[in-house]
């Protein structure tokens, strides 16, 4: 029996996507060749890349003037590419520090220039999203992390700024409706809510590029990738194909609006139980709670062995919290069925019944 997979990443994908991918690895498009042994310049693969890119535009309702790329190197390489492509020589960037991933983004940007950390929630182990901060003038861009995978916090409103706005959406892209015209650069590693590890989605507003005065290495230059239709070098064909299937699955489900409703329902089911059940307490500040990563702790740590045994018996996998936060983290990405969330809720109620 398949497990209820609450892994934070790489994470759950729709069953039908896994089946279709498995088929394509053996026999792609009835070519009697594998997806991963044909030329990426073949008509069949170019169709995959173009379909994936246009599904992103359609599902996110992107305005005109944005390019969509499927790159490699993970969100971690985008930490550096963001600065290479947006930070002017002698320029300055503003970062909002909402956790470990933001911190890593800041570290890379500092290699290329001045970074102003305009707000941070480090004082409370990143359990909230900072508000009421001032963004200085004269900066090139503001960077934020929309969903903080480790801590279970999520921006509900994004910084208002005249500078460019860059956002790491690795763990909540395609999970809710957003006005993308407020962003100039968005990136997301595929392995949280879109596909397997190995590709990173980049969405960038064309007109902002080429203005830093820097010499950018080809592989790090968004304009190079755009000019080659996301095929400057061999793309990660397996990861792009699987991502395309997930995007098709999402479209058939009714798109982002439909999945957002489901995500809200799943999250409410679980947060309601955390708030109701005296054995548990939520980690993230209520108003900043993530719809994707639900973090919680036992009120009495001595109940750990009992609860761990219970959820293991319930066929649940991947519930352990990140080492920096402890406790539990239930990642309930798009592909997670509400039935699995119900199994977790039932298991939490079982603990209450057993221990009173
Ligand atoms: C997982 C994650 C990353 C790191 O992604 P890689 O693809 O492993 O580099 C960055 N940011 C956020 C918000 C993440 O959840």
pLDDT in tens, 174-185: 999 999 999 999
Ligand 1 pocket test, pick from 8, 70, 76, 173 with the greatest ligand atom count within 8 Å of Cβ, gives 76
Mean pLDDT of the chain: 97
Q: Residue 83 and residue 76: Cα distance in Å, rounded?
A: 12
Q: Residue 306 and residue 296: Cα distance in Å, rounded?
A: 16
Ligand 1 pocket test, pick from 106, 170, 190, 325 with the greatest ligand atom count within 8 Å of Cβ, gives 170
The pLDDT score that the predictor gives to residue 356 is 83
Question: Which tokens is 355 given?
Answer: 């221990």
Q: Residue 279 and residue 243: Cα distance in Å, rounded?
A: 38
Residue of 97, 101, 221, 266 marked active site:
101
List the beta bridge partners of residue 295.
329
**Residue bearing the CA closest to ligand 1, atom 8:** 74
What's domain 15-253's architecture? Answer: 3-Layer(aba) Sandwich (3.40)
List the beta bridge partners of residue 148.
153
**Residue bearing the CA closest to ligand 1, atom 10:** 75
- Write out pLDDT tens, residues 226-250: 999 999 999 999 999 999 999 999 9
> Does the structure show a pLDDT above 90 at 102?
yes
Question: Which tokens is 283 given?
Answer: 């980690």
Give the mean pLDDT of 140-164: 97
Residue of 168, 184, 221, 288 marked active site:
168
Q: Map residue 114 onto helix, strand or coil.
A: strand
Pairing of strands 164-168, 185-189: parallel
- Name which of 345, 306, 304 is nearest 326 in CA terms: 304
Burial of residue 341 (CB within 10 Å: 0-12, 13-18, 19+) is buried
Pick the CATH number of 255-355 from 3.90.1150.10, 3.50.50.60, 3.90.1720.10, 3.40.50.2000: 3.90.1150.10
Using a 6 Å CB cutoff, which residues line ligand 1?
9, 74-76, 101, 145, 149, 168, 170-171, 189, 192
Give me the residue spans of the domains in the chain. Answer: 15-253, 255-355
20 given a catalytic annotation? no
- Write out pLDDT tens, residues 65-88: 999 999 999 999 999 999 999 999
Residue of 97, 140, 184, 192 marked active site:
192
> Does the structure show a pLDDT above 90 at 119?
yes
> Does the structure show a pLDDT above 90 at 172?
yes
> Does the structure show a pLDDT above 90 at 1?
no
List the beta bridge partners of residue 320.
328
Is the bond into 311 cis (omega within 30 degrees of 0)?
A: no
- Write out pLDDT tens, residues 274-317: 999 999 999 999 999 999 999 999 999 999 999 999 999 999 99
Question: Which tokens is 108 given?
Answer: 């890379």
> Does the structure show a pLDDT above 90 at 324?
no
**Residue bearing the CA closest to ligand 1, atom 2:** 170
User: What pTM did the predictor assign?
Assistant: 0.98
């Amino acid at each position: 029996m398949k497990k209820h997979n609450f892994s934070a990443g790489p994470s759950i994908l729709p069953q039908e996507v896994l089946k279709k991918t498995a088929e394509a690895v053996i026999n792609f498009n009835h070519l009697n060749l594998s997806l991963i042994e044909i030329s990426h310049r073949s008509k069949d693969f170019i169709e995959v890349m173009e379909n994936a890119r246009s599904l992103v535009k359609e599902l996110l309702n992107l305005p005109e003037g944005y390019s969509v790329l499927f790159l490699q190197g993970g969100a971690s390489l985008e930490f550096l590419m963001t600065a290479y492509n947006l930070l002017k020589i002698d320029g300055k960037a503003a970062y909002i520090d909402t956790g470990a991933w933001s911190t890593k983004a800041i570290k890379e940007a500092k290699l290329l220039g001045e970074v102003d950390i305009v707000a941070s929630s480090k004082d409370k182990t990143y359990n909230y999203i900072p508000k009421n901060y001032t963004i200085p003038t004269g900066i090139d861009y503001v960077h934020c992390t929309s969903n903080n995978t480790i801590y279970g916090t999520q921006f509900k409103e994004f910084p208002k700024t005249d500078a460019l706005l860059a956002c790491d959406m690795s763990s909540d892209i395609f999970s809710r409706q957003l006005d993308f015209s407020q962003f100039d650069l968005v990136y997301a590693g595929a392995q949280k809510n879109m596909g397997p590890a190995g590709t990173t989605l980049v969405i960038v507003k064309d007109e902002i590029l080429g203005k830093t005065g820097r010499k950018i290495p080809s592989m790090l230059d968004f304009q190079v990738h755009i000019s080659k239709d996301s095929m400057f070098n061999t793309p990660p064909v397996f990861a792009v194909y699987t991502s395309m299937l997930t995007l098709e699955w999402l479209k058939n489900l009714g798109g982002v609006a439909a999945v957002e409703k489901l995500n809200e329902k799943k999250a409410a089911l679980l947060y309601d139980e955390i708030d109701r059940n005296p054995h548990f307490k939520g980690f993230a500040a209520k108003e900043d709670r993530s719809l994707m990563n639900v973090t919680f702790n036992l009120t009495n740590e001595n109940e750990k062995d009992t609860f761990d045994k219970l959820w293991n018996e319930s066929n649940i996998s991947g519930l352990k919290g990140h080492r920096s936060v402890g406790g539990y983290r239930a990642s309930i990405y798009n592909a997670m069925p509400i039935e699995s969330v119900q199994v977790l809720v039932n298991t939490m109620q079982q603990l209450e019944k057993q221990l009173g």
